[in-house]
Amino acid sequence: MTDDDLTPPAKRNVKALTAFLGEMEAGDAVVATFTTDRYGVFAVRGEVVQSQLLGAFTLGSHPLDSNRKPSKALQLLRTFHSAEREEAAASRPSDPAAVDESVAHGALIRVTYSEPAYGVFDVAGVAVHSSVDDSILVGSWMVSTHDRIAERVLAVEVLAPVGGHELAVPREITSWGNESAADV
């Protein structure tokens, strides 16, 4: 992922997103940038899955469209080129995934997940702490709970420490509320 992937446009280009979605097929490798109040700006890279349940494309569980119209949270969408995929795979830490005090609320992190329904994908964004269950999340995906790494996490990288980046830091989660009504 590039820094541009975590920089949403000043004005969302719905026409370009719709055109990209119109050409997309299941299995395409893409990078998608989302913005939500709860998780801030985050980018997901991996292979697109056609959801039979939603009748839409998803990337790492995040819906990209509804009836080929971009989801509200989707800001950018681009091809995840083969050279980038090879570089990402080669740079993935070989040590078992672990978290320490640097994986804290406000740190900029990239987490690689392996989920049977969505394959292997990365999520990069600002770590968000939930005081509800003492967990750290990025882009709605659990990174750790009580300092124990989540089951589907393959790798965790701190891209910038707390205060070491320019992205807005979302509020700490103090209540799950109606999570089904969340944007992503």
Q: Check: CB of residue 137 under 8 Å from CB of residue 130.
A: yes
Of the ranges 13-17, 99-103, 125-129, which one carries the lowest mean pLDDT score?
99-103
| Domain carrying residue 49 | 3-79
Q: Which residues of 1-32 are buried (b: 16+ CB within 10 A; e: fewer)?
A: beeebbebeeeeeeeebeebbeebeeeebbbb
Q: Looking at the structure, do residues 66 and 102 belong to the same domain, yes or no? A: no
pLDDT of 2 over the 70 cut = no
pLDDT category at 84 given cuts 50, 70, 90 is: low
Q: Looking at the structure, do residues 27 and 71 belong to the same domain, yes or no? A: yes
pLDDT of 180 over the 50 cut = no
CA angle, residues 26, 19, 180, in degrees to nearest 5: 60
Q: Looking at the structure, do residues 51 and 118 belong to the same domain, yes or no? A: no
Q: Looking at the structure, do residues 159 and 100 belong to the same domain, yes or no? A: yes
Q: Looking at the structure, do residues 100 and 128 belong to the same domain, yes or no? A: yes
Six-digit token pair at 165?
């980046």
Q: Looking at the structure, do residues 74 and 98 belong to the same domain, yes or no? A: no
Q: Looking at the structure, do residues 111 and 61 belong to the same domain, yes or no? A: no
Q: Looking at the structure, do residues 17 and 70 belong to the same domain, yes or no? A: yes
Residue-wise pLDDT tens digits, 143-168: 999 989 999 999 999 999 999 999 99
pLDDT of 141 over the 80 cut = yes
Task: Give the total number of structural domains in the chain.
Answer: 2
